[in-house]
Structure 1
Amino acid sequence: MGYLNHIHQPSNQLHLVHVPEYWGDVARIMTPAKLHEMYEMTRRETDRLRQNYIEWSVQHGVADAKFAHPHGHDAWHEIIKYAEKVKAGVIVIGSRGQGKLKRTFLGSVSDSVLHHSHVPVVICRNKDAEQ
């Protein structure tokens, strides 16, 4: 709700972007049946998120919101490429609050978007996430 309350303007075009899990490296060791199962699970989750985003946007008066699900190895890179493609003026992204140690080893999509984007980035922290 932070975006709607503090950033959104009626003239804004909202793009809701979800980058599905990348299975490339792990896929090499999976059986074809398991790989198909994982891709189907990812497709169903993406479809569920699309429906949730559409319902959310309609409920909050942002009926013209677009949903995109670019595929790629690095989620941060796909988000930046998509923002450049649609000529975004700002990127608003969530943060799961994974903590410094976990972020150091696993990386952070929001940190990478922040450091590589050519447009302003607003990171909304999940206040319910563990520190």
Structure 2
Amino acid sequence: MSSKDHFVVVLCVDSSEYSEFTFKWYINHVHRPNNELHLIHVPEYWGDLGRVIPPTKVHELVEQTKAMTDKLKENYVQWASQHGIPDAKFAHPHGHDAWHEIIKYAEKVEAGLIVIGSRGQGKLRRTFLGSVSDSVLHHSHVPVLVCRNKDAVV
């Protein structure tokens, strides 16, 4: 715990059912009244597409991503408030690698814990496609809780 009178938790969110499960699990099993909750979502990165698709299509994708991020923020901040956390913060940094943005943000806010969901990908799929939760787990300098929905169909 830092020298502050609260414990900072960074909870990663997206629009998946795994994320909703992780949020609920955190609320029911980990959250304490002195925790400062930071919800973080790293939107899709469209920067490299400008070389292969028309700029108007990139703009359209960026606008769709912004609208989805705004809706995500509205939902999670409302859910946090409904669970007695009216001051939850929401961040949506932009970058090519989501795991890197999550770790940078956790360092910036001096987090004591990162909570992230896992989609439960198999070893082969994770090897070729990578996994944000695996990368956060292996590169973070603070504890990481990887929450997997045991009932999820993989």
TM-score band w.r.t. shorter chain: over 0.9
Q: Give the secondary-structure state (helix, strand or coil) at the position aligned to 1:13.
A: strand
Q: Name the structure, 1 or 2, with higher relative contact order (CA <8 Å, separation 6+).
A: 2
**2:141 aligned partner:** 118
CA distance in 1, matches of 2:76, 2:51: 32
Q: Which runs of 5+ in 1 are unaligned?
A: none
TM-score (norm: length of structure 1): 0.95
> Is 1:83–1:91's contact at 8 Å kept on the other side of the alignment?
yes
CA distance in 1, matches of 2:122, 2:39: 25
- Displacement, 1:128? 4.2
CA distance in 2, matches of 1:59, 1:28: 44
> Is 1:98–1:130's contact at 8 Å kept on the other side of the alignment?
no
Calculate percent identity across the aligned residue pairs. Answer: 72
C-alpha change, 1:55 and 1:113, in structure 2 (3 Å) is: same
C-alpha change, 1:35 and 1:104, in structure 2 (3 Å) is: same
Count of residues paired in the alignment:
131
- Displacement, 1:123? 0.4
**1:60 aligned partner:** 83
**1:76 aligned partner:** 99
The one-letter code of the counterpart of 1:112 is S
Q: Which runs of 5+ in 2 are unaligned?
A: 1-23
Segment drifting more, 93-102 vs 35-44: 93-102
- Displacement, 1:25? 2.3
Report Cα offsets for 1:97-116 as digits up to 9, x if no partner. Answer: 12222111100000000000
**2:48 aligned partner:** 25
2:125 is the alignment partner of 1:105: no
TM-score (norm: length of structure 2): 0.81
> Is 2:49–2:58's contact at 8 Å kept on the other side of the alignment?
no
Over the residues paired in the alignment, what is the CA RMSD in angstroms? 1.1
Segment drifting more, 55-64 vs 119-128: 119-128
| 1:95 equivalent among 96, 103, 118 | 118
